[in-house]
Amino acid sequence: MEISALSVPDAWVFTPRQHSDSRGTFLEWFRSDALNEAVGHPLTLSQANHSVSRGGTLRGVHYSQVPPSQAKYVTCVRGRVLDCVVDIRTGSPTFGTFAAVVLDDVDRRGLYVAEGLGHAFMALTDDAAVSYLCSTPFTPGREHGINPLDPDLALPWPEELTPLLSDKDAVAPTLKEAESAGLLPTYRDCQALYAELRAAGAPADGAR
């Protein structure tokens, strides 16, 4: 499995090796050892989500409060989506920037999004199916969003598709509005959480 860091720190893309023959294709779409190598700690699986979206559907930008927030490992099992990771951590050197990745059923990449980062995607095909592994359960009172059409973010959604948003996402605040309201996670709190997770995932002294 090939591991690539994105321009937004604490997000990685995992490209699996695919084995094809006359029967079809086999691949390992998630490997805990590969993720641990990149991130420095395991992904605790608390919830698995699956969405199916018509072309143009735009989900996000979603995030949850830190701590504990929610890390995600995302893959597109059918069709094609444009996935964006947004650095919404105040105080981060890359605050307000994004990294865009195409996830599809051809390369079958997986995307890891650490706690405190914003996540959004647009379905580029009809019936685009996305599966997520999540580190914590969904907690309504701690879930927040940034408007994915915020002009200051300028996320690279294809112009030929008409965005289809939920009512909640359509009225979500801009990044500046969320920052002014004190709704965004801080880079300091996120780094402290990552350090805590790495320490908890480290082998005990003398472990073999």
Q: Kindly report the average pLDDT of the chain as a whole number.
A: 95
- Mean pLDDT in residue range 153-179: 97
Structure tokens at 35: 């993720």
pLDDT tens digit sequence for 40-74: 999 999 999 999 999 999 999 999 999 999 999 99
pLDDT at res. 201: 80
Amino acid 127: pLDDT:
96
Q: Encode pLDDT of 73-82 as tens digits.
A: 999 999 999 9
Question: Of the CATH numbers 3.50.50.60, 1.10.3720.10, 2.60.120.10, 3.90.1150.10, which one belongs to the domain with range 2-199?
Answer: 2.60.120.10
What is the pLDDT, as a whole number, of residue 203? 63
Between the CA atoms of 34, 37, 38 and 41, what dihedral angle is there, to the nearest 10 degrees? 100
Instruction: Give me the catalytic one of 19, 41, 132, 187.
Output: 132
So where are the chain's domains? 2-199
The answer to whether residue 144 is catalytic is: no
Residue 116 has pLDDT above 70, yes or no: yes
Pick the catalytic residue from 19, 41, 50, 62: 62
- Nearest-angstrom CA–CA distance, 158 and 75: 20
Start-to-end C-alpha separation, the chain: 25
d(CA 117, CA 70): 9
